[in-house]
Structure 1
């Protein structure tokens, strides 16, 4: 794939490749206008009904002329799912991939598909490894700019979760062009480009199709020293588990769609989803951090199970220690949850033992799909407090120690998790 594509002036078929510099460069002032207008909308009447508005209202361009009106569009109404809740359920994915050979034995492939890790890692030299990942989904919020930002942050997170630094990104764009105005699609791309700018990488091109539902995401390449790669399958017996972001994204974004989340709650969940997991690259050179993964569509327990299966260990979670976003508890107790919660539990609940006192709403939040969630770290026992301070100092104020992983023993089977109310 070429790193930069030419922009097609009109849509003549179902596929087109385009160059971001020409698309965004000529519209830079308009992009900044949209950004400010979205902030204004979110501060004013957009939350009067409990959810952010995507209407553009009246605005002017940099030369003072009136900007063209954009119709009100609710992106989440154009798709059957949203965010990482769009993922195929773990059990169904295993069924699909059963007996499909994906790895043909390349000695330079350090991380492949066998351990369900966050990205592939290929050794280029004794001192350099290439990290490759792709992630995309349907709208999780109605605001186009915010949708683009969340999708980009979520995709870039996979590189950080492997312990690497992102290098560049390419876009994956599928849009119902007969339903969405070009200006709305432009705002989605511009939101993604802004997060790439924050990560210090170019959005160097991409591929687009005319699709029945909106889809946006990135292919991201990154680099790391081979010794600094942190897989999800390298936890050690006795390691302590740290979680860098609070849970509740799925519940809160479901509340947005139902008009049940106020402006403060919307800002909180957006801040969580758009916070880049840069701390992964910071910690990758610390030999006391043994394993790392990001918590996304399969929920905390689903991704912890991947760590336990890959490492041959049993996981323990102290339920009361897991950080939650403020509104999440109330929403979960009222059943305001995405459908993926039940799909996740049905897929892997047999591998989870819930202790007495773990209420159903809390279990639901532990399997709640997190879009652009935090990092789950397996840290050498004795170093957990120091590592926790590093994570918190890096801007992850809600980070917490949530449990441990142990060698299999009586009643504690490898590849399973126990949740205890403590």
Structure 2
């Protein structure tokens, strides 16, 4: 095995959540599977493409269960571990819960990579798990051709306070907690047109744990009616899924969408992934982008890794919510509203 420094993004074809199976293909595959009959305690499953499963234990406690893993999206091993962990933990926060335990999922090419690389990946993940107040309790590993890493995370939530993607209410305001542009900026890194220090804004965002609940008072927490995290299917795909699950239409003002300083530069220079195309194909029938120029269309389809949360909250407290969230999430912004169901699930203006 080599002890030389390796740029992890150059060891794989695709990185991060941009490596997801295209949403349209995934739906077609899952429709052919006969799943077990759901237990009565199973409150949320994968039927509405929510962020995690919810299994009720009693009137006050429900399990939140999720799993995420992917190939390297950055070159530095420790940073890759941090981002992979933050991304997996995010699903629990997106359901209104808090993570309790995490188990690692690791594929590692023992013949071609030095041991210290995986030590650094695991340390980065361990640091983020500790930051979330959870325990790293084990995992599973295999010898494989390429590095892949992620976590299976279990958390807890009050079953009466779940932020499912099916709860958005007409009149709610939509809040996005992180800037957009991770997909295009990391594509520039993959193509060796930038270095990590050139896109630190995006790297810091990806490594930020989506613990929004600790920045909300109890009174604010109960005003969140629905939530989802924005990852590989882009803002277009994940907002469409929330709208469909809630049977509403979302109106999103693209000029209010937070974005990184270099997002448009990277999009203009065609630093794109396959997911930019497949996200557009997945959402085209059910979203209205007729008022958008090409650059803003690419922005809403940009695949995020460890992206922000999209929160559907009571309009009466939305401004107070944003101010509270900005203590940690500086890019948090009100980006739209929830309307009664129309022909399209999401209207981008």
Give the TM-score normalised by structure 1: 0.79
Q: Deviations over 1:384-411 (max 9, x none)?
A: 1111111112x11111111112112xxx
CA distance in 1, matches of 2:242, 2:217: 17
1:212 paired residue number: 145
Match of 1:184 in 2: 117
- Write the distance in 1 (CA, Å) between the matches of 2:194 and 2:319: 34
- Which residue pairs with 2:284 in the alignment? 349
Q: When the two structures are aligned, how many residues end up with a matched partner?
A: 347
Tell me how far apart the structure 2 counterparts of residues 77 and 178 of structure 1 sit (CA, whole Å). 17
Cross-structure match for 1:20 = none
- Cα offsets for 1:86-139 (capped at 9, x unmatched): 111110001101142335131111110111011111011111011111000000
Tell me, in whole angstroms, the C-alpha distance in 2 between the residues paired with 1:304 and 1:85.
17
Q: Go from structure 1 to structure 2 and tell me whether the alpha carbon gap of 1:105 and 1:284 turns closer, same or farther (over 3 Å shift).
A: farther
Q: SS of 1:104's equivalent? A: coil
Larger Rg: 1
Structure 1 residues 176, 218: closer, same or farther in 2, change over 3 A?
same
Give the CA RMSD over aligned residues. Answer: 1.7
- The separation in 1 between residues aligned to 2:90 and 2:23, in whole angstroms, is 20
Correspondence 1:84 to 2:13: no
SS in 2 for 1:398: coil
Q: Which residue of 2 aligns with 1:38?
A: none
Q: What CA distance in whole angstroms lies between the structure 1 residues aligned with 2:222 and 2:157?
A: 14
User: Which stretches in structure 1 are left out of the alignment for 5+ residues?
Assistant: 1-68
Pair 1:363 & 2:297 matched: yes
Q: Larger relative contact order (C-alpha < 8 A, sep ≥ 6)?
A: 2
Q: Name the CA distance, whole Å, in 2 between partners of 1:265 and 1:362.
A: 22
By how many angstroms is 1:192 displaced?
0.9
Structure 2 residue aligned with 1:378: 312
1:143 aligns with 2:76: yes
Question: So what's the TM-score if we normalise by structure 2?
Answer: 0.95
**Judging changes above 3 Å, is the alpha-carbon distance between structure 1 residues 284 and 160 closer, same or farther for their aligned structure 2 residues?**
farther
Q: Is the 8 A contact 1:91 1:348 kept in 2?
A: no
Q: Partner residue of 2:249?
A: 314
1:155-213 per-position Cα deviation (integer Å, ceiling 9, x unaligned) = 01111111111101000000111111111121111111111121122211100011122
Aligned to 2:343: 413
